[in-house]
Amino acid sequence: MQTATRIAFIGLGQMGLPMATNLVKAGYEVAGFDLSPEALQKFVNEGGQAAKSAADAMAGSDVIITMLSNGKVVRNVLVEGKAYLRAPNGALILEMSSSAPEETRSLAEAVSGHLRVVDAPVSGGVKRAVDGTLAVMAGGADADFLAARPVLEAMSAKIFHCGPVGAGHAMKAINNYVSGAGVIAAVEAVLLGNAFGLDEAKVVEVLNASSGKNNATEVKMNQFILSGTFGSGFALGLMAKDIRTAANLSVSLGLSQQGLTQTADLWDDAARTLGGAVDHTRFYDYLKRQVG
C-alpha cells in the first residue's frame, strides 16, 4: 500500500475519474479538481478529496496529474497566474492529456526551474481506465520517468518510455493515427461487403480470423458499431484532434505523408458533420452517408 505521496489530479472526466480512483485504491492521498461539481462528488464518493481549485489541489502535492482536453487548456490551468508555483519545488507534473508534443515542450520550458515534466498520455479507453490496465506512452528525463513510474503503475498495465519530453505525446498522436486509419478501413470494408450482399457480421468475423484484423475489427465493430450502441467512451472530436496533431507533426518535420493527411481530413470532416461530442465509433454513420 502506497501512502507517502500526495497527488493532485486535475480533470475528472470519463477517463480521469477512474484513473484518479485507482490511485486512491493504491493508497495515494489524492486531491482532485474538476469544473464539474458532479464529477467532484463522484470522486469524493470513491474516497478522494475535493479541491476548491486546481491551484489548491497542487498545493503540497508531490505529483500533479493533468487529464484535460488539450495542451492549451493544460497550460492555462498550470501557468495562468503562475498557479504551478503553489506546488512544492521539484514536484513532478504528469501531463496525461492528449496534447501536441510542441505544447508539452513549451509547458516544460515555462515551469522549468520549479517543476519537472513527464508527458504520459494513455491508450485503452474507459474500460481499461476502470480496470487500471491502460497503456502509457511517456516522455521525459530518465530520472523523472523513474520517479513517475510507481504512480503510473497504479493506473496502467504497460508503460513505455519513448524518449525526452514530448515523445509520449508524439507517440500518442501516431498511435491514434493508426487507430483512426484502422477504423476507416474496417468501416469501408463492412460497407463494401454489405453492398455486394455479404452479411456485415460475417465480414467482421472473417477479418478477425484473417490478415485484415485490426483494433477496430476486434474491439469496435461488433461491440459498438454493428450493435448500434456507439458507446466506446472516446469522442469523435478527440480522435480527429489527435490525428490532426500527427499530421501537423509530419508537416513540421518536412514530411509528405498523403495517407496521414487524407486520414486527418476525413476525421476533421466527420467531426464537422456529426459534431465532435459524439462517440468516435459514429464515424460509421459518416462513411455510410458518403457511400450513399
**13 within 8 A of 39, measured Cβ to Cβ:** yes
Would you state the cell numbers that stand for residue 15, as one nine-digit string?
477517463
The pairing of beta strand 92-95 with beta strand 116-119 = parallel
Which residues, including other chains, have CB under 8 Å from residue 128's CB and lie 6 or more apart?
A: 134, 135, 157
CA distance 59 to 86: 5
Of residues 25, 172, 202, 288, which has the active-site annotation? 172
Q: How far is CA 61 from CA 28, 58, 151, 268, 290, in A?
A: 11, 5, 13, 38, 50
Q: How many CB atoms lie within 10 A of CB 37?
A: 9
Would you call 172 a catalytic residue per the annotation? yes
Active site (catalytic) residues: 172
